[in-house]
Chains A and B, each alone.
Chain A
């Protein structure tokens, strides 16, 4: 059965800290892995990863995929209160499979 597991479920940090969010997956016909950020409304797209070992970067956020070990990490450096959100990892074959998310809270 296809599954996506994220850890930790919840994380509380102070501004300026660096966090690493984990996503492991077991799916047939893997094509890509997607990261989303969800605040109060719909998830917004962050990264799509298809190749192992190639880091995607956007400002303070970066992500990398390990297709051999079947996981991805999302790093956020110098966290800000605006980073507080639920971060979702998803793996799409036809049916997009989401992890349960990691709730990140950043306090000033």
Chain B
């Protein structure tokens, strides 16, 4: 199993550009989540999904969209990038609510 994979590893955007961060897992996990991590802020939940076709907002959803058309994939879309979205983004998946999350390696995003 590859576990949780994320692409790209690093991306530089200009303000106003859009892009999609990819996340995939091959463990047949129901739950998938996107987090951003900023210095001194810990991990903050952006959006999450409890199964294919179901998504919900987390703590900091503004400026991001998600979809879950398959169990395996959970892409995160930045509609119009802003410098405040400069961060490290982690995708995670878990089999059930009480179980540990498996994290992807992260995507470092810089918005100029």
Contacts and interface: CB of A to CB of B under 8 A. Distances in A.
Q: Do A and B come from one complex?
A: yes
B98 A32 contact: yes
A92 B93 CA distance: 13
Contacts of A95: 33, 45, 48, 58-59
Interface of A: 31-32, 34, 41-45, 48, 50, 88, 90, 92-101
Contacts of B58: 95
Given A94-B97, A96-B33, A101-B42, A42 B48 contact: no
Interface of B: 33, 35, 40-45, 48, 50, 56, 58-59, 90, 92, 94, 97-106
Contacts of A101: 42
A1 to B, nearest CB: 10
B98 A92 contact: yes
A48 B97 CA distance: 12
Contact of B105 (A32, A41, A90, A100): A41
